[in-house]
Amino acid sequence: MAERAVTRAAERTAGQGLRATALAVGAMICGLALATAARAEEKVITSHGISTFGDLKLPADFTHLPYVNPDAPKGGEISQWAPGSFDSFNPYAIAGNAGALSSILYESILSGTADDVSAAYCLLCETMEYPEDRSWVIFNLRKDVTFSDGSPFTAEDVLFSYELFRDKGIPEFRSVSNGKYQSVEVLDPYRIKFTFTPGTPFRDMPVNAGGTVIFSKAHYEANNRDLEKSSFEPFLGTGPYVLESYRPGQQIIYKRDEDYWGETHPLNVGQNNFDRIRIEYFADDNAAMEAFKAGVYTFRNESSAKQWATGYGFPAVAARDVIKAELPSGDIAGGQAFIFNLRREQFQDPRVREAIGLMFNFEWSNETLFYGIFSRINSIWENSDLAATGVAGPDEVAILQPLVDEGLLPAGILTDEVPMAPVSSKDNALDRRNLRKASALLDEAGWTVGDDGMRRNAKGETLRMAMVHSRTDLLPVCNAFVQNLRALGVDASFDIIDDPQLQQRASPPNFDFDALPTTVVNGGLEPGGVLKQAWSSVAKDNSSRNRMGYADPAVDRLLEVAEAATSREELRAAIRALDRVLRSQHVVVPRYFKKIHTVAYFDIYEHPETLPPYALGELAFWWYNPEKADALKAKGALK
């Protein structure tokens, strides 16, 4: 982290005359006077929150979020499933495989909402103060906040937590974030000031500072904890839930803290309604589905299109004991894609990447495997106005032109249509037209077909692409992709491995894979500095968000432009330009997304009639109906 700037008077050389000294003193006095006047004129905003662009929607005296039921009852249990296993409750370390929902124990100074991506409101603070340029922020902390053991929360815990993540946070976070903070200082037990490094884009910095996860300093030090190590003992937080029990690799139960400090906070009214949240672990989706039918757990967010279309014909659904529902979602697409390990020599040629992408037949997969439930992803920012379209507009050209002039981007980026995902035949898994295009690209790139049908380079090496994952539900679509690639002459394969092995192979410093079906970071609807953890050169070899090892000087510059945007219009132009460049390089093979939530649950839960656009919220603002639960238990439909 940058040290606090210290100004020192310049030393005067020996032999200066009295007149020069007098002029210097006069200049110093004038400079001090001007600086004092500038500080006096600096407008400081005091507010209950902050918005990236525009004004906050909720007034300072709001009583609850607009999308919750403020009278939602407390009680009952909701249970879900998780794949694989877990061996830690530390979600902030590379080591270990953290248990599901293990971050639910912690809070930060500010909290967002599910209906406004721009807003962040005071949770652990009463108010926040910041200048118009957002170059610093002071949080005036609440005095009634306690950790889950009843101990007090103060500014010292905030400073401690900030320094902990600064020194021991995951490398991708530290490499991008640490240089942005000039100083952090405790002003009194309930006031803390973050000052940001000059030259840093300040737009998101107050929210970034307010988003620091808070731990108890006393508990951490007394128990000799280590943020970098996995552990079954959670850190001490201020959150609404605490860990009740667990069985390693099998089950986790969180219980609502009956003494939670924030029960009546306006951000929490109508939320955190379940007494218990239970997670059951299963090796694969088939076992999990059978357990759901048997009532082992009660809420299922269905990810398998085939399961959704064909797997819910069991009696409980017909009897309406289990509700099968499609609920609206207005969120940006999740960035599902096949990514290449760009550290591998065979994937450094964009023609190779484009050729491989041509062999993924979405239309056939959606019709045959997904029952038409998915939509195609073209852009990393699909389903938003951040996605590039057509030819670059004047606002994008203004951003891209300097990079073209410097030779960092080809001139065609200014005039070519943005690449779209290839369209394939839905009648045949192998689209012959795309096969011919892909063959021509690989021939041009020097990968020629041998007598055995496999493509090799001048060294005699096959064009190898070994994909791995732990999710068995990906087998049908990945196997179809592999068959098409092998028809092209690619030495392709897809293997299922266990989750711990996947985490080890796909994470730094190993990156031991050719390709992965995964998601790529888009930063949401108002992306900022988080994009650097996924796409910047500095995160090339240390970031689990940049598994592909992407690095490009032009994109580094575009990330700076996006982070520095001061209006929604500027941000939109910057992200569209970034999207245009990434798509032109064919660095991922885009997959698919759902425009709805597909959920099934035992008829013991209720939710607000109108859900917010950016969250399903089943663990946040849904609630338990004990009368319905008793009725299902009485008829034997629920254990």
Prior bond of 590 cis (ω within 30°): no
At 195 the pLDDT is 98
- Give every residue of the chain whose pLDDT is below 50, as ranges: 1-40
pLDDT of the residue at 509: 86
Q: For the segment 306-355, what is each residue's pLDDT rounded down to a tens digit?
A: 899 999 999 999 999 999 999 999 889 988 999 999 999 999 999 999 99
Could you tell me the domains of the chain? 45-68+103-222 (3.40.190.10), 241-330+595-634 (3.40.190.10), 354-593 (3.10.105.10)
Six-digit token string for 309: 């279309």
**DSSP-H helix ranges across 71-229:** 155-168, 171-177, 205-210, 217-222
pLDDT for 20 equals 34
pLDDT for 11: 31
Q: What pLDDT was estimated at residue 41?
A: 63
Residue owning tokens 């001090």: 32
Cα separation of the two ends of the chain: 54
pLDDT of residue 297: 98
**pLDDT for the residue numbered 9:** 31
> Tell me, what's the pLDDT at 24?
37
**Which helix (DSSP H) or strand (DSSP E) does residue 573 occupy?**
helix 568-585
pLDDT value, residue 507: 85
Q: pLDDT tens digits for 252-297?
A: 999 999 999 999 999 999 999 999 999 999 988 899 999 999 999 9
| Residues forming beta bridges with residue 600, ordered by sequence position | 300, 324
pLDDT of residue 6: 28
**Cα(469)–Cα(481) distance, integer angstroms:** 14
Q: How far apart, in whole angstroms, are the C-alpha atoms of residue 434 and residue 447?
A: 17
Helix and strand numbers, DSSP H then E, in the chain: 18, 26
* φ, ψ (nearest 5 deg) of residue 195: -115, 130
Separation of alpha carbons 455 and 439, rounded Å: 10
Residues in the chain, overall count: 639
Q: What is the pLDDT of residue 95?
A: 84
Contact of 81 with 297, CB cutoff 8 Å: yes
Taking alpha carbons only, the member of 277, 313, 145, 147 closest to residue 218 is 147
